[in-house]
Amino acid sequence: MQSIQANNYLVHFNQNAYEALNTHLKENKYSNLFIIVDNETNEHCLPKFLPLLETDLTIEIIEFESGEINKNIETCIEIWKVLTELGADRKSLVINLGGGVVTDLGGFVASTFKRGVDFINIPTTLLSMVDASVGGKTGVDLGNLKNQIGVINVPQMVLIDTQYLETLSQSEMRSGLAEMLKHGLIYDAAYWQQFLDLKSIDYADFDELIYRSVEIKNEIVIQDPTEKNIRKALNFGHTLGHAIESYFLESETKQTLLHGEAIAIGMILESYISLHKNLITAAEYAEIKIAIQSIYDNVTIEENDIEPILELLIHDKKNEYGLIQFALIEGIGKIKINQSVENKLILDAFEDYKS
């Protein structure tokens, strides 16, 4: 597969990825190498990765506990301390080997340590391959509020190797699929149709679909790296999806949702809003809802859950001048950004989802 040119870096695929990495290590005079992993990727992915690495650099492994709950500034402080203790300097290289939590947090750690050291991302989940791999967003959560602290800073390169998907559960794979569906809905109707045409979802044969998903996100980001305009399209499903994800993360009575599970709900809700703002037809809404619900189980949202979910919208980082901004689909494959939505329509969307 041909590498994809992103903003000032390349996304390399499968075997080509390791050739690119090892060439980069030979051509740059790094002082040492730090690989940031969580306990899951330390066990399942690191043993696959290390034998493919060709370098004489001293390699140190830094591990933290997996999960969104650990994507916070406290984890960053611990890693910064370890980097300091192990002699990291401005010529060190950080490799983030893991899912979106690892690449988001590790990218932020590297971007801020000694005012910035080089880093490379190797996403190991479907979600991180098609989402976190492109765009340069790094950061951590603030309490239960997602991605409130961070910077946009691009890696030296991104390596996507689909062999790591063999280590994932079906639920993790479905989580990543949500972002792929989103890319079709906002940008490429033919890509969306490819998913509708699948007789069954066989993740073993997903390489071309993953490649196109990365391509779509990159085509959007390259036009608008700092999210002033068209990049906001990528927020479809995320305004309500993030609020739902945060609420379930904080709740003592709810089971935590995977990111893609929350975004799947968000896409149904925001498609309903698109319908009632006359941006899509009833047939398109039905198609979207049926397709998503055929992949994801319905999540129970009680009446008393809705108000605290809506309160979380106030903290959405996409808000401007105190207004909640939505990106809504305008037909399948098109998007309309900066859409204000009245509260009643949001409540109606929840009612429709619950029915």
Active site residues: 115, 137, 179, 217, 227, 231, 235, 238, 242, 259
Helix axes 189-197, 170-187, angle to 10 degrees: 140
18 vs 97: CA distance, rounded Å: 13
Nearest of 302, 300, 236 to residue 271 by alpha carbon = 236
Residue owning tokens 């997996």: 66
Return the closest-CA partner of residue 50 out of 297, 42, 303, 72: 42
User: What is the C-alpha separation between 353 and 241, in angstroms, rounded?
Assistant: 13
Please check whether residue 82 is in contact with residue 31, taking contact to mean a CB–CB distance below 8 angstroms. Answer: no
For helices 189-197 and 207-221, give the axis angle rounded to 10 degrees: 160
Residue 76 near residue 101, CB atoms below 8 Å: no
Judge contact between 120 and 158, C-beta under 8 A: yes
- CA torsion angle for 152, 157, 163, 164 (degrees, to 10)? -40
Cβ-based neighbours of 234, under 8 Å, separated by 6 or more: 135, 182, 186, 217, 220, 221, 327
DSSP state of 258: P
Rounded distance, CA 35 to CA 264, Å?
A: 32
Cα 52 from Cα 18, distance rounded (Å): 7
- Alpha carbon 264 to its chain centroid, in Å, reads 13
